[in-house]
A and B are shown apart, each in its own frame.
Chain A
Amino acid sequence: MLTILLTAGVIGGIAVLCASALALAAHCFAVYEDPRVGELEKCLPGVNCGACGYAGCSDYAKAIVAEEAGIDRCAPGGNDVLEALAAATGAAATTLEKMVALVHCNGTAENAKHRHAYNGIMDCQAAHQLAGGDMTCNYGCLGYGSCARVCPVDAIEINKNLAIVHPDLCIGCKACVASCPRNLISMVPASKKIHVLCSSADKGPIAKKACNVACIGCRICAKLDGDAFTMDGFLAKRNYDNDVTNPAVIEKCPGKCIVDTAPAPPAQPTEGQHA
């Protein structure tokens, strides 16, 4: 009997000691965390993509609470997250234009010509380093998929040696923009569907020789719809501030580089040659 009592007493005593040590520690070393951080973190999508410029969703929530960052930096969240954040912080809610990545090139295996064979690392940077890439065009997509590999949501497909961003899947994190050695990818408003899919700054004849769908710098688009298209040297640029008012530009473009992507790019994913 005594043994049982003694054991229970010792164990109980240790329990009481430990519990009070824990209670003391919890009281003395307590870290105050702003309850707002947790609240905001719940509003964020939690993909930790880094588009906001912070190390993850939690870090961004902390930055909002510390008033270092505005509430409009979460690209994947879009307007829903913006509204939730506005409700939680009491800041004025603005609407956020959804931006998606776009590869400004349409040089598929059929359209763009190859200059030489490449037998190196399957990486665009490596291919670009060797004599400026294996394409005749010095500006176009090499198709070795460096952008597809950095995409956190697999929104980029390599189809016939050309990277295509699926706008419905793109969360707008911009990871691919920095990965392209030829700077072909930029962010465009998701609502705009008509794009100039060429980045060649070469003069018309050179560009045309390298690719069937190159911008030849003819200025027809700028003449037909000067608000939506501007010229930068020998390359037409889309001005995304304005809508295309004259849809004839697509038909009239002799290089066939102005493309309406509204019906979405070809949906059957086929194995690219390289990827």
Chain B
Amino acid sequence: MKVTRALRKLRGSIHPQYFKGLTADAPITTMPAPAKLFVSMAQHLGAPAKPIVAKGDIVVQGQCIAEAAGFISAPVHAPASGKVLEVDTAPTPAGTMAPRIIIETDPQNTETQTLPPMPEWQKQPRETLLARIAEAGIAGMGGAGFPTRVKLSPPADKPIDTLIINGAECEPYLTADHRLMVEHSAGIVNGIRIICHLLEVKHVHVAIEENKPSAIEAMQQALEQLDGVEASVCILPTEYPQGAEKQQISMTTGREVPSGGLPMDVGCVVENVGTVLAVANAILEGLPLTHRVTTVTGHIVQTPQNVLAPIGTTYADLVAFCGGLTNPAAKVISGGPMMGMAQPSLEGSTTKTSSGLVFLEERRVHVYRSLPCIGCGRCIEACPMDLIPAAISYTVEGGDYDKAEALNILDCIECGCCAFVCPASRPLVQHFKLAKPKIIVKRRQAAAAKGTA
């Protein structure tokens, strides 16, 4: 076990106010299942899961209520026992429409259903373990929600030699991963052991920002138990966006993911600490992914804390569990304030990727009026991907998507640093978010046309 430092400085970066002190020292509290759970079927990247229960069915906690619809998809399990009230369609936190299962929970029914635990997992074939990870519905819990089974089955021509455990948590306000590392370090190490076995890797970096000394210490101690692999805690400077996977690979290993490439192109797999813990729980205890830790925070929350809540808990129930609000909220964000999505109401519910719920009062919410670019170049300095945000946003505004593509807009990680520093309040990252799907669709169409021609 050794402790390393970041190999280089982050190229572009910003230093927002973190406000992590609100919840950093608060132990994870467990929230009992609320009266109703609204479980979305689109909690992961890829095809939404297909509901296999109908209105009126009685479900048991841990029972599979929706199955994966394709390879890049994940099943969904009942977060609590109860009755299915309705299967309808509702907007996800990201704003797209997806099927949803509403469960009326039954506090009398304490029955739970688990998959058979695998204490002797080392003797199981690789496929069995991967199938279990898929069966447990595990998707990346850092925010993107990429199905973990897919990430852990790289093609044979891409050898993986390094596993990076992402505990950077660079988003302001959020402390869910921090508390997980402090309180569940042994579980995380068990998960690391399983993933190392699956990927046959010999190097593990646990990347943690230096503003979490308690997490660094806990992980250092826990990693002593890890034999057979070369493990290290890599202490990263406190900068945003330190937790982005391409940045993290560069900081810990010095490798650069090529433009348009994936971490596996440079022999790396990056997993969030929450995902690693979920993998350990799924294999050692047979627990499907039904609960997650969400940071409910903001200066107007009565008792901001890290809550272990059933997936599908509404924002209103979460904030009621935290004692309610002291002042009316002007903005509610699912996720962190940099990359999270503003929510239209408290009727939305948590998903496998809900790392936080941030309540901002009016004083902290700015209404922007976008002005013309003054050509100062601050966005270029702030961009961690070495892009030219000012120029790209011009091309998007003018509708010239070919030019935007030539300026490598698809390499944008949507971290929001450019818009954060812009003195003219230009909606830079918003422009990229608007143009990227259009360009991807166009590329796909061009590829399809080429295929048929």
**Chain A interface residues (CB < 8 Å from chain B):** 115-117, 119-121, 123, 125-126, 128-132, 134, 138
Contact = CB atoms under 8 A, between A and B. Distances in A.
A115 to B, nearest CB: 5
Given A117-B367, A119-B368, A132-B91, 6 more contacts: A116-B345, A121-B431, A131-B95, A131-B341, A131-B344, A138-B97
Contacts of B370: 121
Interface in B303-346: 341-345
Interface in B262-286: none
A209 to B, nearest CB: 14
B453 interface: no
Contacts, number: 40
Determine chain A's interface SS by DSSP, over half rule: loop
B430 interface: yes
A134 B341 CA distance: 14
Interface string B409-429: 000000000000000000100
Given A116-B344, A116-B345, A121-B431, A130 B367 contact: no
Contact of A120 (B91, B343, B427): B427
A134 B95 CA distance: 11
Contact of B344 (A115, A121, A123, A129): A115
A128 B344 CA distance: 12
Given A131-B342, A131-B344, A119 B367 contact: yes
B52 interface: no
A125 B434 contact: yes
Nearest 8 CB-CB pairings of A with B? A131-B95, A116-B344, A131-B344, A126-B434, A132-B95, A132-B91, A115-B344, A121-B427
Nearest to A129: B95
A115 B342 CA distance: 13
A121 B341 CA distance: 15
A113 B433 CA distance: 26
Contact of A130 (B95, B97, B345, B368): B95
B425 to A, nearest CB: 10
Q: Tell me which of B97, B343, B433, B434 has the highest count of chain A C-beta atoms within 10 A of its own C-beta.
A: B434
Given A115-B345, A131-B342, A131-B344, A126 B430 contact: yes
Contacts of B345: 115-116
A131 B96 CA distance: 7
18 contacts: A116-B342, A116-B344, A116-B345, A121-B370, A121-B434, A125-B434, A126-B430, A128-B95, A130-B95, A130-B341, A130-B342, A131-B91, A131-B341, A131-B343, A132-B91, A132-B95, A132-B96, A138-B97
B343 A129 contact: no
Contacts of B343: 131
Interface in B67-108: 91, 95-97
A129 B433 contact: yes
B380 to A, nearest CB: 21
Nearest to B93: A131
B301 to A, nearest CB: 20
Contacts of B367: 117, 119
B90 to A, nearest CB: 10
Nearest to B97: A132
B291 to A, nearest CB: 25
B305 to A, nearest CB: 26
Nearest to B426: A121
Nearest to B431: A121
A15 to B, nearest CB: 47
